[in-house]
Structure 1
Amino acid sequence: MGRSGEYVSNLYGEIAYRSFRPAPLPPEPQISLDGDDLRLLLAASRRLQELDTMAQFIPNAQLFVSQYVRKEALVSSQIEGTQCTLDDLLDPEVESNADLDVDDVVCYTKSLWHAIDRLDEMPLCNRLLREAHAQLLGSGRGSERNPGEFRRSQNWIGPSGCTLKDARYIPPNVDDMIDALADLERYINADPEIDPLIRAALIHYQFETIHPFLDGNGRIGRMLILLYLIDQGMLHSPVLYVSYFLKRNQIEYYDRMGEVRRSGNYEQWIRFFLEAVKAAAQDALESARALDHLHRKSWEIVAAQRAAKSLSSVLEYVEKRPIMSIGRCAEELSLSYNTVASAVRKLCDLGILRETTNASRNRVFAYESYLAVLRRGTEPLGGGR
């Protein structure tokens, strides 16, 4: 067996194929990083620590966290081909619009929060991943792909419509998959022998290589990065949207993991992963600072008006729902339609909100400055799912 594993033969004759059997973690020989790698590890760790500290102590921290979770859910889903934008996700009528792409992202968000809550009750284990998967594919697209269950048949990766013969990569057969998942669970919960960020890189690679579900492996695998960093105390909340970097470098992302399987070179994958963490943490920091600055500026403008309390209530609402409708806002704040309409008109006059529709009824307004920060990196990729 090579450093990362080996290909094994399955079945016979015309239906014969070769699947990959991964070597258990940690790699042998052990990971070897040079001076540049160690400097990158230190820089990524510092950025992550700075982001985690800021997320704990800035005003309205929970608001920022919820927006970051939405962003990670959206971008991670886009990597898999979901054609959905941030504006689609924030549409005030999103719950009544039957859109499978939006549903993908909503389910991811629910899945991540469920998994984080369960970390308080159980270790990061295969059972928790199955529960997260059940939430991820529990409704809409993928609900027929055995949500919450590891696969009981062979899967493969390749262009749409390809067969085992044409597959770009064939993950472990079911027996090897079961063994590999048990090994991975032990590694996740073993005493750390190397830095948690390096372990996170290895764990993500190993999960993607095992590919234990019929669908949703990429999203659960990227979710696993967040869950592991939270479990290790490197993050106190899910404020790192690492999919931001992975989407921008999607071809390299897949190629780097493929190179581990081809050559056993884990180090080049770890280097790429650390760049992803560093870049994602830096982007999240810049976004947090920009949103915090905008929050303070908008509230100073509103405070100077000495207006009715309803104006502050509506501003607080649009920070949570930066695309809003008057009727929905009035209903959720238990205010009259006219009271909210007056507050919205005032926020438009102050340059905080902007109307995005011309209809006389069901008008939609956007907190454009806030959205401009959140939208960065969330443009959908071309192509199918």
Structure 2
Amino acid sequence: MQLAGYLKAQLSGEARYFSFLPSPLQSITLNGLDDTFYFLMAQTRHQIGVLDVLSSRIPNMDLFISMYVRKEALLSSQIEGTQATLDDILDPQAERNRNLNVAEVINYIKAVHFALDRLGKLPLCIRLLRETHGILLAGNRGGEKAPGEFRRTQNWIGPGGSTIKTASFVPPAPEDLAPALDDLERFINDDIPLTAEFAVDPLIKAALIHYQFETIHPFLDGNGRMGRLLIILYLCEKKLLSKPALYLSCFLKQNQAEYYNRLSEVRRRGSYEQWIRFFIRGIKDTTEDAIGAIEQMTALREWNTGRIASLGRSAKTARKLYAYIERNPIIEIGKTAEDLGLSFNTAAKAVNHLTALNILRPTADAKRNRCFAYEDYLAILRKDTE
């Protein structure tokens, strides 16, 4: 059995505790990947290929990605305990009236866009992660916990009320962060063989990179969200997908207990293979979910654009409004009119046309003033978020 790291004694006497120092990923070997795993990999690769084809052919793919980034932001934050819904995030007044829960998700959306844009200028490196972390925590809960800076104090993971001695897991001590992060950065950017079969396979490397980052836990707050974002950044940099259409938080939220247990099992027993199998299964399930959502959204769009064409002279403004509600599926008439450069009455008439077609429906939320929702579209996005 190979060791995934070792416990390192810290301090002395009554204050003594043990932190976990992970082995460099360059040193591990993978021996337990059998025919069942190879079949899973083949299925996953096929599904990724299907998703990539859809990503390159669908005219409104950027719109889908924009919506899925919001869903990913919500789910990733929910894993950390954030109490918000998709409707909260899509509320037309979300930026103006945001509470701390909504603000965390909005910051995650900003961090995703920042990181993907920055990836075109920098390699996937520790500097990029620090900059992105600064965006993620700016002005929110955790804003006092050194946004954009690696921790200088010891942290630990455990249930509420746990101490460093009763914690489920104690990551590396601050003085051990730099070498551990240097090793991780080299592993991310070097094509280092792990086994003859999977020398540089980006899916397997993504699994190991995520595990190692979560084990190092280099920030005082936001490590989980950053670790999940790191997955998509790595797969984008390796061009496994032409567009960033693959997000894993839904699978990890649905299997949260198993997720944490499998990470712990690597640290306890060095069993990287069981973690990799779980991760690849998550990629496969997530890819199938994305394909299904794209197909549903595409069919819905084709159906609705056909019905809007039947409006005759009113169709032009209705099409303009329809394009807007695909980007903003919950709208308020006044803001919509302003965004589209229309008078209030013109926007209201277009809303009435789409309401008559049952594309838009008045919201039941009394807090919203004259708000309408694209419910069929939201039903696709809401899946697994509530």
- Which TM class, normalised by the smaller chain length? over 0.9
Work out which of the residue numbers 325, 330, 333 in structure 2 matches 1:326: 333
Tell me which residue corresponds to 1:383: none
- Is 1:375 the counterpart of 2:360? The answer is no
Tell me which residue corresponds to 1:111: 111
Conserved 8 A contact 2:191-2:200: no
State percent identity of aligned pairs.
52
TM-superposed deviation, 1:360: 12
- Is 1:341 the counterpart of 2:356? The answer is no
Bigger mean CA deviation after superposition, 54-63 or 80-89: 54-63
Tell me which residue corresponds to 1:273: 279
* RMSD value, Cα: 1.5
Conserved 8 A contact 2:236-2:243: yes
TM-score with structure 2 length normalisation? 0.95
Q: Distance in 2 between matches of 1:70 and 1:257?
A: 26
Tell me which residue corresponds to 2:267: 261
Tell me which residue corresponds to 2:142: 142
Secondary structure in structure 1 of the residue aligned to 2:19: strand
Q: Do the aligned partners of residues 7 and 212 (structure 1) sit closer, same or farther apart at CA in structure 2, a change above 3 Å counting?
A: same
Could you give the per-residue CA deviations for residues 41-61 of structure 1, whole angstroms, max 9, x where no partner exists?
Answer: 111122122112212211211
Q: Do the aligned partners of residues 59 and 166 (structure 1) sit closer, same or farther apart at CA in structure 2, a change above 3 Å counting?
A: same
- Is 1:229 the counterpart of 2:235? The answer is yes
Conserved 8 A contact 1:65-1:238: yes
Tell me which residue corresponds to 2:52: 52
Query: Any stretches of 5+ residues in structure 1 without a counterpart?
Result: 380-385
Secondary structure in structure 2 of the residue aligned to 1:328: helix
Tell me which residue corresponds to 2:195: none
Secondary structure in structure 1 of the residue aligned to 2:6: strand
Conserved 8 A contact 1:59-1:292: no
Could you give the per-residue CA deviations for residues 241-295 of structure 1, whole angstroms, max 9, x where no partner exists?
Answer: 2111000000000000000000000000000000100000100110010001101
Work out which of the residue numbers 311, 321, 331 in structure 1 matches 2:318: 311
Conserved 8 A contact 1:3-1:27: no
Secondary structure in structure 1 of the residue aligned to 2:331: strand
Q: Distance in 2 between matches of 1:165 and 1:22?
A: 19
AA at the equivalent of 1:141: R
Q: Distance in 1 between matches of 2:172 and 2:53?
A: 40
Secondary structure in structure 2 of the residue aligned to 1:87: helix
Tell me which residue corresponds to 1:4: 4
- Is 1:250 the counterpart of 2:270? The answer is no
Conserved 8 A contact 2:30-2:273: no
Conserved 8 A contact 1:3-1:29: no
Conserved 8 A contact 1:45-1:197: no
Tell me which residue corresponds to 2:64: 64
TM-superposed deviation, 1:310: 1.2
Q: Distance in 2 between matches of 1:361 and 1:241?
A: 31
Q: Distance in 1 between matches of 2:367 and 2:332?
A: 12
Q: Do the aligned partners of residues 359 and 310 (structure 1) sit closer, same or farther apart at CA in structure 2, a change above 3 Å counting?
A: farther
Could you give the per-residue CA deviations for residues 329-381 of structure 1, whole angstroms, max 9, x where no partner exists?
Answer: 001001011101111111111111111148799211010100000000111xx
Tell me which residue corresponds to 1:382: none
Q: Distance in 1 between matches of 2:171 and 2:2?
A: 16
TM-score with structure 1 length normalisation? 0.96
AA at the equivalent of 2:72: E
TM-superposed deviation, 1:151: 0.6
Could you give the per-residue CA deviations for residues 227-247 of structure 1, whole angstroms, max 9, x where no partner exists?
Answer: 000000102222112111000
Q: Distance in 1 between matches of 2:224 and 2:282?
A: 16
